[in-house]
Structure 1
Amino acid sequence: MRLVFAGTPEVALPALDAIAESDHELAGVVTRPDAPAGRGRSLVASPVADRAAELGVPVLKPAHPRDPDFQEQLRALAPDCCPVVAYGALLPQSALDIPPLGWVNLHFSVLPAWRGAAPVQHSLWAGDEVTGATTFRIVKELDAGPTFGVMTERIRPTDTAGDLLARLAEGGAGLLVATLDGLADGAVDARPQQPEGLSYAPKIEVEDARVDWSRPAVAVDRQVRACTPAPGAWTELDGARLKLGPVTLVDGALAPGELAVGKRDVVVGTGTTAVRLGQVQAPGKRAMDAADWARGLRIETGAHFDES
């Protein structure tokens, strides 16, 4: 088939590479416009745009896919199908209608569970034991289109959102190519999603990532891992915001938010048992082990993180 791939961040690269190496023809790539980045806030192309340039593939960067000029350019590329991974913009019906076989999305959950922008984070936060990825045809309703294929992945006890998403991106790339192969030879059929098990995964904002130390230790652990690397779990000490890396469950009880500082570790109280801090990052500083952070600021046992 003749394909135009749509995607933007690094997590889309395994699928783009798999399609480029497949028997299908990669006629072009659609990605989000260049965006400001770094201290200088200079415009930087997306990871997908950079990889497409390396592949020598035409790149389209519409401000919005409803733009008539973009849709004319897409028609000129004449795709049979448009595979999508984390493109980042809503597609109007006029764009959805251009490829005869539609737009096929690789979504990082087992639909209909966790429709939305942050399925991996919500799956971790909820304590799911298994997640996966699904290919489906995009329709106007959010992540509600009929499905083609699915893969599953067991969630490991220490997984962060970054760890889990990386595995799903690699495994999902093969699933997406297999789906495209099946569409090309007529071997796959779209199946309507079942209403049972429907849940939503909206984007996790920075305020959502603030740790509530009155919650159980298990809930704190899940929240921190779900928010790693982005948007980053955080707390405050004397009004200063601290970004936190994954924590470890330990025995012992302290008041919620109370610190116990040792030579080699820093332990914090929760609503149940305590947790051991991992990496701590103060504003404008590099991340460091919690014991080094506490030693540098001369934080002593009995100090408390600010209440949320």
Structure 2
Amino acid sequence: MRAVVFAYHNVGDRCLRVLHARGVDVALVVTHRDRPDENIWFRRVADTAAELNLSFLYGEDPTDPALAEAVRAAKPDVIFSFYYRSMIPADLLAVAPQGAFNMHGSLLPKYRGRVPVNWAVLRGEEETGATLHAMEAKPDAGYIVDQTSVPILPDDTAGEVFEKVTVAAEQTLWRALPAMMAGQTPKRPNVLSEGSYFSGRKPEDGRIDFSQPAAAVYNLIRAVAPPYPGAFTDIGGRRFIVAQARRLESSSVPAGLQPGLHVVDGRIVAVGGDGGAIRVTQLLEGPNADNASPVSVQVFQNIITAKS
């Protein structure tokens, strides 16, 4: 099997290594350059390709004629996409006679679209996974080749779940490749009516609405915790990021506290609109989690005392 691979991030790194280990002839790797505004906490696929002695190029726009020509010149049997950021146009997918396949970070048809791990944590799911599926013009809509599930524990952050999903992607591809290389690719239905589609998220979506139940506030904190930008609130013109937290029994905080952040018995706590409580174990001050400083309990007490 000869392949062209569009790849980025940790899933791109691990899946590219699986192809190499399985003996797939990777003729070309297409990846992204780092963005100057991005926190690079993940593996660079360009480094992986160089380590494995594979030809690679940077391709931000899959509609670029020069990129399309490079893919055609590689004469792939298959095309793979592993966390490449852009939709690959149908005419480019058609270059590969044995099909084009994407690794998606959810159990399709659930959580089609962008940042599926973050959405799954935000919505309180107890399970997600990785799905290898055929690519079509519509995102995450092609038939399913294989998928692997992973649990989402009650206190898992999206970063922790993403680590599990990366392993699930590796396992899924490893398991599927022998049949694919033998020309017997499994085809399971991807029933879109039984799933869901979600768009991308912006840093501003991390603003905490303390009128929401404490469970919803906690899920937001988990869903955007570092290495993502973090859940935040503004107090007196200063931005505070709840980087780490744990649920508390409501009985451990005084009744009648208003929704928001408080200091109770030497602890920073967040109170939701339903009176539920969350202990904030790491509070930061700054524009985002990458550029913020820790805030002690005493300093925060002084801040909220001065504000009141």
TM-score (norm 2): 0.88
Aligned to 2:202: 205
For the residue of structure 2 that corresponds to 1:204, the secondary structure is: coil
Structure 1 pair 195/70, CA: closer, same or farther in 2 (3 Å)? closer
Identify the range of structure 1 (129-138 vs 56-65) with the bigger mean alpha-carbon deviation. 56-65
Alpha-carbon contact 1:215-1:271 (below 8 Å) kept: yes
> Alignment length, in residue pairs?
296
Residue aligned with 1:280, SS: strand
Match of 2:280 among 271, 277, 283: 277
> Aligned-pair distance for 1:283?
1.6
The equivalent of 1:233 in structure 2 is 231
| Counterpart in the other structure of 2:9 | 9
Pick one of 263, 275, 281 that aligns with 1:260. 263
Structure 1 Cα separation of the partners of residues 301 and 268 of structure 2: 12
The aligned counterpart of 1:295 is 298
Name which of 58, 69, 72 aligns with 1:72: 69
Residue 75 (structure 1) shift: 1.5
The answer to whether the 8 Å contact 1:204/1:231 transfers is: no
Partner of 1:131: 128
State the one-letter code of the partner of 1:234. F
SS of 2:260's equivalent?
A: coil
Give the secondary-structure state (helix, strand or coil) at the position aligned to 1:277.
strand
- 1:151 maps to 148
Q: Which residue of 1 aligns with 2:59?
A: 62
Cα distance change, pair 210–304 in 1 and its aligned pair in 2 (3 A): farther
Distance 1:9 1:195, change over 3 A: closer
Q: Output the amino acid matched with 1:277.
A: V
Local SS of the residue matching 2:113: coil
Whole-angstrom CA distance in 1 between matches of 2:128 and 2:13? 21
Out of 72, 88, 91, the residue aligned to residue 94 of structure 1 is: 91
**Cα distance in structure 2, aligned partners of 1:70 and 1:84:** 15
TM-score by length of 1: 0.88
1:160 aligns with 2:157: yes
Alignment of 1:208-227 (within 5 A): 208-227=205-224
1:161-200 correspondence runs (5 A): 161-200=158-197
Aligned-residue CA RMSD in angstroms?
2.4
- The answer on whether the counterparts of 1:34 and 1:46 sit within 8 Å (CA) in structure 2 is no
1:245 aligns to what SS in structure 2? strand
Any unmatched runs of 5+ in structure 1?
A: 40-44
Report if the CA contact (8 A) 1:32-1:46 is conserved.
no
User: Against the structure 1 CA distance between its residues 283 and 107, is the aligned structure 2 distance closer, same or farther, given a 3 Å change threshold?
Assistant: same
Question: What's 1:42 paired with?
Answer: none
Q: 1:260 to 1:46 in 2, by over 3 A?
A: closer
Matched, 1:49 2:46: yes
Structure 2 unpaired stretches of 5+ = none
Alignment partners' CA distance in 2, 1:233 and 1:178: 37
Give 1 or 2: higher strand fraction: 2
Q: Distance in 2 between matches of 1:234 and 1:27?
A: 45
Secondary structure, counterpart of 2:71 in structure 1: helix
> 8 Å contact 1:227–1:233 — kept in the other structure?
yes
Contact 1:31 1:46 in 2 (8 A): no
**Given residue 9 of structure 2, which amino acid in structure 1 is its aligned partner?**
P
Match of 2:105 among 108, 112, 128: 108
Contact 2:11 2:170 in 1 (8 A): no
Matched residues in 2 for 1:55 and 1:303: separation?
Answer: 58
Q: Cα distance, 1:102 vs. partner?
A: 2.1
- 1:258-307 Cα shifts (integer Å, max 9, x gaps): 412443x211221121211121221276443x5x2x323552776889xx
Q: Contact 2:131–2:144 at 8 Å: present in 1 too?
A: yes
Distance 1:205 1:179 in 2: 34
